[in-house]
């Protein structure tokens, strides 16, 4: 039937063109799957993204969300070379997975930068900002590892007045994403509370997916997502209700949403978001502080799990195996702060003491903690007898409201003076120098991009 219709359409076109004395340009008929979109103008077909996900030497993952069912693909080429150009896999987005596409760029070479276009129904989507990604370098046994920079932030609340609590809006300062993008980090770590589910959300799959979509669609976020590689872990608000623990009834659904909206390179356990990745000579351990977590109010003791037994065992094994210069352990809640307040690891003291003692006894070098949650930023430093100190850099919030640290927290011996930032902020960490003398520089910026403090930590100090 299609061939017959196409044949008569062709004859009609020939007749029309002949009447004007023009030669017809024949275009093959393409039939998309049922429900796929074929818009005449795709400047507004995207719901969110594109987002650049994980990067390795041989592949890069990209992410796109459309507004309705559509065929999506990424076309990419090396910066400065328009040919050859390559295409990712095709994905037909659908309603069941909120029209999300995960796309794999697997025709890449190590240490290169690429420009890419989003194609919807084979048509390029016009975007008002550049879209690029990069592959990691093959430096091992050849040269010193390249310097790199990464951004860190937690607690992203995007207002929706119709369902928010009455009163002063809880979120704001969305220009912070432009400030982060202006720093041109190689990648960003979203260290928990990357969206805030509300009462209207956390009892249904529809609600959870709608909330994730609402946050990801923030216009100010799009240029950052499109040009910076992104990695994530969750904390309570993107996992479930406030302070949610292992009893949360819909955690398989929020895990599904997390894996739909983020593109981490791996997940160690089927029931959680824990994973790891490398960037040059550094390794990042993204921990899950919710899936296996006992209730906060449970009496402390060996049975009061925070990360849980199998995640603890994996972490210790992975740290012991790692040859990374800096080993960044990233977690939603504070680790080193000894104050037994809110959801700090200290209220899970038995497990906390065990983890810190294991790191000490195993003589694992180069460990640092990156945390969020507290709605202010601060640096803690735990001095340990006979070995190097453990640092915990807390960066929070991105767009949520700000909270002051308690007075007793600032009297703790772990508190590093002049590192408290009680406004919306982000961290920018830079690793540089030759392999045998790497230096980590930490800078904290406010939402407009003004620097608040800076500190250097040498790898030689963490041995």
| Domain boundaries defined on the chain | 42-134, 148-462
* The token pair that represents 149 in the structure block: 């920079």
258 vs 6, higher pLDDT: 258
- Taking residues 73-96, what's their average pLDDT? 97
Sign of the dihedral through C-alpha 261, 264, 269, 275: negative
Q: How far apart are the first and last CA of the chain?
A: 74
Q: Identify the CATH number of the domain defined by range 42-134.
A: 2.60.40.380
Nearest to 435 by CA among 58, 137, 141: 141
Tokens 């949403």 sit on residue: 257
DSSP, collapsed to helix, strand or coil, labels residue 454 as strand
Beta strands 367-371; 390-394: pairing state = parallel
Could you give the CA distance from residue 358 to residue 315 in angstroms, rounded to a whole number?
11
pLDDT digits (tens, 9 = 90+) for 342-361: 999 999 999 999 999 999 99
Q: Which residues of 250-262 are buried (b: 16+ CB within 10 A; e: fewer)?
A: bbebbbebbebbb
Residue 192 has pLDDT above 70, yes or no: yes
- Upstream peptide bond of 177 is cis (omega within 30 degrees of 0): no
Given a contact cutoff of 8 angstroms between Cβ atoms, the answer to whether 293 and 272 are in contact is: no
DSSP, collapsed to helix, strand or coil, labels residue 126 as coil
- In this predicted structure, which of 35-49, 101-115, 225-239, 312-326 has the lowest mean pLDDT? 35-49
Name the band, by pLDDT with cuts 50, 70 and 90, for residue 43.
low
Model-level pTM greater than 0.75?
yes
Residue 211 has pLDDT above 50, yes or no: yes
- Taking residues 177-196, what's their average pLDDT? 98
* The token pair that represents 382 in the structure block: 């735990």
Residue 313 has pLDDT above 50, yes or no: yes
Q: Identify the CATH number of the domain defined by range 148-462.
A: 3.60.21.70
Given a contact cutoff of 8 angstroms between Cβ atoms, the answer to whether 36 and 94 are in contact is: no
* The token pair that represents 419 in the structure block: 């590192």
- Taking residues 137-145, what's their average pLDDT? 98
The per-residue pLDDT for 91 is: 98
Residue 121 has pLDDT above 80, yes or no: yes
Given a contact cutoff of 8 angstroms between Cβ atoms, the answer to whether 410 and 162 are in contact is: no
- In this predicted structure, which of 6-10, 279-283, 365-369 has the lowest mean pLDDT? 6-10
Could you give the CA distance from residue 92 to residue 100 in angstroms, rounded to a whole number?
9
Kindly give the interhelix angle for 251-261 and 205-216, rounded to the nearest 10 degrees.
30
Given a contact cutoff of 8 angstroms between Cβ atoms, the answer to whether 360 and 384 are in contact is: yes
Could you give the CA distance from residue 344 to residue 352 in angstroms, rounded to a whole number?
10
Residue 246 has pLDDT above 90, yes or no: yes
Q: Which residues fall within 8 angstroms of residue 14, CB to CB, at 6 or more apart?
A: 24
Could you give the CA distance from residue 65 to residue 421 in angstroms, rounded to a whole number?
34
Query: Of all residues in the chain, what percent are helix, strand and coil, respectively (each to 5)?
Result: 25, 25, 50
Q: Which residues fall within 8 angstroms of residue 257, CB to CB, at 6 or more apart?
A: 208, 209, 212
The per-residue pLDDT for 44 is: 87
């Amino acid at each position: 039937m299609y061939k017959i219709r196409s044949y008569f359409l062709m004859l009609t076109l020939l007749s029309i063109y002949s009447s004007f004395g023009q030669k017809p340009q024949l275009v093959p008929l393409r039939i998309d799957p049922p429900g796929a979109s074929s818009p005449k103008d795709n400047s507004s077909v995207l719901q969110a993204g594109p987002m650049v996900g994980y990067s390795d030497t041989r592949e890069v993952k990209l992410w796109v969300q459309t507004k309705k069912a559509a065929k999506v693909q990424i076309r990419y080429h090396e910066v400065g070379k328009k040919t050859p150009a390559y295409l990712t896999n095709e994905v037909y987005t659908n309603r069941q997975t909120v029209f999300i596409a995960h796309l794999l760029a697997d025709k890449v070479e190590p240490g290169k930068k690429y420009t890419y276009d989003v194609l919807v129904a084979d048509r390029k989507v016009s975007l008002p900002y550049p879209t690029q990604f990069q592959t990691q370098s093959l430096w091992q046994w050849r040269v010193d590892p390249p310097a790199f920079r990464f951004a860190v932030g937690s607690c992203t609340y995007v207002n929706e007045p119709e369902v928010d609590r009455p009163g002063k809006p809880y979120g704001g300062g969305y220009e912070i994403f432009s400030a982060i993008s202006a720093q041109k980090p190689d990648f960003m770590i979203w260290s928990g509370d990357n969206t805030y589910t509300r009462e209207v959300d956390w009892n249904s799959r529809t609600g959870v997916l709608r909330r994730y979509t609402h946050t990801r669609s923030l216009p100010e976020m799009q240029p950052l997502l499109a040009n910076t590689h992104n990695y994530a872990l969750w904390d309570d608000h993107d996992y479930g209700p406030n302070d949610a623990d292992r009893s949360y009834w819909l955690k398989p659904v929020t895990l599904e949403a997390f894996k739909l909206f983020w593109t981490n390179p791996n997940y160690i356990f089927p029931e959680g978001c824990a994973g790891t990745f490398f960037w040059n000579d550094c390794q990042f351990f993204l921990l899950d502080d919710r899936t296996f977590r006992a209730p906060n109010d449970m009496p402390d003791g060996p049975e009061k799990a925070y990360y849980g037994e199998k995640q603890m065992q994996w972490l210790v094994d992975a740290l012991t195996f790692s040859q990374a210069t800096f080993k960044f352990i990233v977690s939603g809640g504070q680790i080193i702060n000894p104050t037994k307040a809110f959801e700090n690891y200290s209220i899970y003291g038995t497990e906390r003491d065990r983890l810190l003692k294991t790191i000490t006894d195993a003589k694992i070098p180069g460990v640092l903690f990156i945390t969020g949650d507290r709605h202010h930023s601060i640096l803690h430093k735990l001095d340990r007898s006979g070995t190097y100190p453990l640092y915990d850099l807390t960066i929070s919030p991105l767009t949520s409201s700000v909270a002051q640290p308690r007075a007793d927290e600032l009297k703790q011996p772990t508190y590093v003076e002049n590192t408290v930032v009680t406004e919306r902020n982000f961290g920018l960490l830079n690793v540089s120098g030759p392999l045998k003398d790497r230096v980590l520089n930490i800078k904290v910026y406010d939402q407009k991009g003004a620097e608040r403090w800076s500190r250097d930590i040498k790898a030689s100090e963490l041995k």
